[in-house]
Structure 1
């Protein structure tokens, strides 16, 4: 067991707590930047299945690109990948490794060129590029692309900001690219498929190009009134997917362990779905989905893994799947532009069913690289998130608990391993 102190609810609201008070951005852009030390404390992984090690005297990373800024890390949002990567030895490009994909803090260094950011500004930094260690969260100072940084409005605390980043990016790309949702009617949000056509396939990373260009045909794009089935509705990614889908006018069906999360979701001001289904009996859940949507649910997001994605496939697949001479078609299958056939689209955030997609179904993985490798897309997403937060149209996931200091990270991840953190986010306050 880790040495952690249960988080006690205070009588005053989140936004008024002293540790969460937001300061306005520095108005004098010519002021001297704060002094940044040469060395810092980081949290290193030295090998698979090993605990992270708090290490002092590590060099502070330096921005070396016209888009890079330096951020003093204040609050880290923990993600399942932070413990799954060392436990199962994946997603670790080098050792020792610095982990952490999202954090909030203060801008302490700007690029030489004019920037949309200001020194001292409170921001969320979203690091989807796990190969670049200087952008990782488990350190005192981290680099971020200015088009991957979200300016926090005064009403959103640093703690709340640390819960939002990766889940928001995954949700927008799943809905906007893999499902083709057009968000332009929601505070001038992105129409990602149209933007990708303008950018051109030659400027997209090769390994995600097919998903971005051929993932969904124009006539199949999700629109207001369509059903979205989310299997694994307690995940943070599900939280943001549900909120964004509702903003776009989709009807949302959530499959979740009702014994754990049923009452919370059914009464939730923001997340209450159009239909809540218990995951305890998958076969029964599939029957309920098909019956209540009259077999017309074409879009599904699975947040849990291969087994539940296989259940979701059966919920979405057409009743009759014609056989072909050469077996199942590849995913995504070729569909003529003029065809009126509407396929089902299954997005696996953590895994897809084994084998090829059957006829009438297309499998999708989220093209997360778009966020950090295509500046136009990254900037469109973070500026839209700024507007959503400013106008109160998007709510940060609940904070289950707050740990303190780098030395608490291993114990916090142990709690996640044991399944103690569910229905919200665990954050670590390091400053």
Structure 2
């Protein structure tokens, strides 16, 4: 079988090493993508350090990628060989992950990349957009979604005009997409917390009121309440989801409201229900059967949203040395030394 270079995790709690594995075969309805750029996410270092999510080894990690269609399976009509696309990987099979030079993906979950966006930028989109979009919007009943009407569909565009939203961790990769989607939904005001250095950028993508993330909780509560006045705060997106931010968002939430979190909720479901509030713990992957319909809807519109500027990719930093550069990049993520940008590697540049 034809081989490719991949960043391999040989065993649970092992060390990542560059090696070789077979290029996967294409099935009907699927495509093979030559990966030109893959983005790093915190979940990748957590898999290595804590031994979670992955049980079959050697394994390939990574779920964010952009590249060129190398081959299309039988029945595929939405893309052809040579198209520039982005897609989200899936940890259930190393044939579908992205820290390698080729990967297979269902054709319904690839989106063409407009010429004005680089493949490095495009690789920053899939997981973080999915985490923001699937947490807020839903086309099928699931506990991991607030169930709002998607703004990429006509019925949802501007639907929540005049309703406030709070995004905690606005400069995070997920937070940036939560802000942009909130703007498309018509939410106003859009309040976000982040480091002061990211304030001007966040305002450029839709934030109306910025609060420094170092603001003490008591002051944060006062400031948010002064912004929204008597309007109920029915939706909070917590992209940080540490205990302090969850508790602050939960306290600000109005009765009947929902707080979307990216980590385990700090308040149990029964307690929250008694207080008339709800935690939504999002699982941000369009390949998840529980999210599939919403994911298909999003990907059918994604190219257009990127083309017309409704959504903008994260700012990126390209790592050197191809797949080998991922190891150092993940250490920087673990050390929490990255703010406001997405780290991207180029698998084809692996020595």
Q: TM-score of the superposition, structure 1-length normalised?
A: 0.72
The residue aligned with 1:166 is 127
Of 204, 226, 231, which aligns to 1:291? Answer: 226
Match of 1:405 in 2: 322
- State the partner residue of 2:199: 262
Separation of aligned partners in 1, 2:137 and 2:318? 31
Q: State the match for 1:227 in structure 2.
A: 164
Contact (CA 8 Å) 1:290, 1:297: kept in 2 or not? no
Determine the C-alpha separation between the residues in 2 that align with 1:315 and 1:50: 42
Query: Does the 8 Å CA contact 1:135/1:144 hold for their aligned counterparts?
Result: yes
Report deviation, 1:412. 1.2
Q: What residue number does 2:211 align with? A: 277
**Aligned partners of 1:378 and 1:292: how far apart in 2?**
33
Aligned pairs, number: 334
Q: How big is the shift at 1:351?
A: 2.9
Shift of 1:60: 1.2
Alpha-carbon separation, structure 1, partners of 2:154 and 2:29 = 22
2:191 is the counterpart of 1:253: yes
Contact kept in structure 1, 2:260 and 2:280, CA below 8 Å = yes
Which secondary structure state, in structure 1, belongs to the residue aligned with residue 31 of structure 2?
strand
Q: Distance in 1 between matches of 2:105 and 2:26?
A: 8
Q: Distance in 2 between matches of 1:166 and 1:92?
A: 17
Query: Structure 2: any 5+ residue segments left out of the alignment?
Result: 139-144
SS in structure 2 opposite 1:403? coil
Q: Deviations over 1:314-354 (max 9, x none)?
A: 12155xxxxxxxxxxxxxxxxxxxxxxxx010111123223
TM-fit CA distance, 1:106: 0.8
Counterpart position of 1:201? none
**Matches of 2:76 and 2:110, distance apart in 1:** 15
2:339 aligned with 1:422: yes
Q: Are residue 310 (structure 1) and residue 247 (structure 2) matched? A: yes
In structure 2, what is the equivalent of residue 63 of structure 1? 26
**Contact 2:45 2:330 (C-alpha < 8 Å) held by counterparts:** yes
Please give the alpha-carbon distance, in whole angstroms, between the structure 1 residues aligned to 2:75 and 2:119.
27
2:123, 2:9 → 1: CA distance?
22
Q: Distance in 2 between matches of 1:423 and 1:155?
A: 21
Q: Is the 8 A contact 1:181 1:248 kept in 2?
A: no
1:368 shift after superposition: 4.0
- CA distance in structure 1 between the partners assigned to 2:287 and 2:345 by the alignment: 24
Number of the residue aligned with 2:141: none
Aligned equivalent of 2:18:
54
1:38 aligns with 2:5: no
Offset at 1:90?
1.5
Pairing partner for 1:395 from 300, 312, 322: 312
Distance 1:375 1:173, change over 3 A: closer
User: Helix, strand or coil: the match of 2:41?
Assistant: coil
CA distance in 1, matches of 2:199, 2:116: 29
1:209: which partner in 2?
none
Alpha-carbon distance between aligned partners in 2 of 1:50 and 1:404, rounded to the nearest angstrom: 21
Whole-angstrom CA distance in 2 between matches of 1:370 and 1:137: 15
